[in-house]
Chain A
């Protein structure tokens, strides 16, 4: 076992005795002196100073965020760092600071102490650290007259005040500490306040984290020669495009999306498609390219093609056809083959003849990309259906 481990084992043992209220005065002295005897822990004081400087530099123009941190780190004793190190090194999760606080609980009624500690806790200051700093801080060798007066009054408020202000000599603090464990109620209450202090510390860390990350990276970026903290060589054009795209996407309403789509579609080459009305007097007719096309059909074909283009683009961008198995598909029956139905790259076809029933129109769609010709049947509603839908039969008269 190394010296460090010996120290920690001893520290752990002493803590247990203190927490159980069984520690002697000598053991309490030994406990309080252990952090200073551990070289590595003592070195953390220097680290604390470095951290203090870093936070102060990083906080920059947000001192309100840095103040609590600076207050916590500004303790010469570096108890925050020391206690954190002790907590992380000791094998089991013993909160050293809180344990010590509990062990040093006040013996007197703590009503007044509550208000004092509550006032402390209301500020973003670690209660535990404040009290510990008061206990271990640079205390005068002799208690000042004011402090002695407070002690003479022997009120809880005076004790807390003197303790907090660091006005008590070390001997007096230790004497008080030795008397505290006998008051279990005070011990319990102060443990609760120690928990409060822990919560405050957690909140403080969260604020600190928000405050210092950006400035730290900015300083680093500058230090390594970047033009700015957001500068990455070669990223400018990509970054600009992404920024614009994201901004547009974020700002788009449904209407704006349609406008954007319209603009994009307007910029695309016009589809090469032919649409012919091929009706239909019951007699087979050859396909005629010169057939007149009603306006709604001339609108329909480009619209269909645009829709197809939209879907095709969507599918292409997704890296293929992301399709789901058909849950209700018939796996057998008259299915002749499980081979995929593949298309040739070119599917030249011509409509030679056609005949349709009454009320059926045939539209021919031929995309210009070698895709298959589509013969689209349109079953028009008959008179009965029109009547059912509320249309009155119209009788035309000759003019």
Chain B
């Protein structure tokens, strides 16, 4: 926390002296345009589930560029390094079938859709470590919404699983 406080203080200081620094420094490099999104159509009655596996740990600050849209929210979890380990996307129907998501040297996650309405889908997520179930939870979430399951120990930190549903 002290580190972040110092970062905040530094950020504020930089903001205050920004006009000078900006005038003297080279302009920031132009960011590349956002990658075009090619959304696949989701068949009726199906839900597309996308899961990321993010390893969070302490050490030299690092943020995987593929996590750029999650930076703000991952920061709540108070780690220095965020690295995308793997990601997966799959389709699953309501009440039938399930998606299994394995993280190497980490837990196994199983996702299925319990119910789906016009504005919400109830997503059941089970996480297993070996044969032991760590958590079993159901989240009702809006279309195109994301929630994050985080906390299981992974490598020298924790594992973070952002889960998005589209239907």
Contact = CB atoms under 8 A, between A and B. Distances in A.
A374 B17 CA distance: 35
Contacts of B2: 258
| Most A Cβ at <10 Å: residue of B73, B122, B149 | B73
A378 interface: yes
Interface in A140-163: none
A330 B85 CA distance: 7
Interface in B47-106: 50, 52, 62-73, 75-78, 83-90, 102
Interface on chain B toward A: helix, strand, loop, or mixed SS? mixed
Interface on chain A toward B: helix, strand, loop, or mixed SS? mixed
B110 to A, nearest CB: 14
Contacts of B28: 319-320
A338 B61 CA distance: 23
A71 interface: no
B146 A344 contact: yes
A391 B73 CA distance: 35
A321 B17 contact: no
Contacts of A350: 139-141
B115 to A, nearest CB: 9
A139 to B, nearest CB: 56
A258 B9 contact: yes
Contacts of B66: 326, 329, 340-341
B63 A312 contact: no
A317 B11 CA distance: 7
A314 interface: yes
21 contacts: A238-B19, A242-B16, A257-B5, A308-B72, A315-B71, A329-B66, A339-B35, A340-B68, A349-B140, A349-B142, A352-B140, A357-B134, A360-B134, A365-B76, A367-B73, A372-B145, A374-B76, A375-B148, A375-B150, A376-B151, A379-B152
Given A245-B17, A265-B8, A347-B142, 6 more contacts: A244-B16, A314-B11, A321-B63, A321-B68, A347-B141, A355-B135
Q: Top 3 A-B pairs ranked by shortest CB distance? A: A377-B151, A245-B16, A310-B8
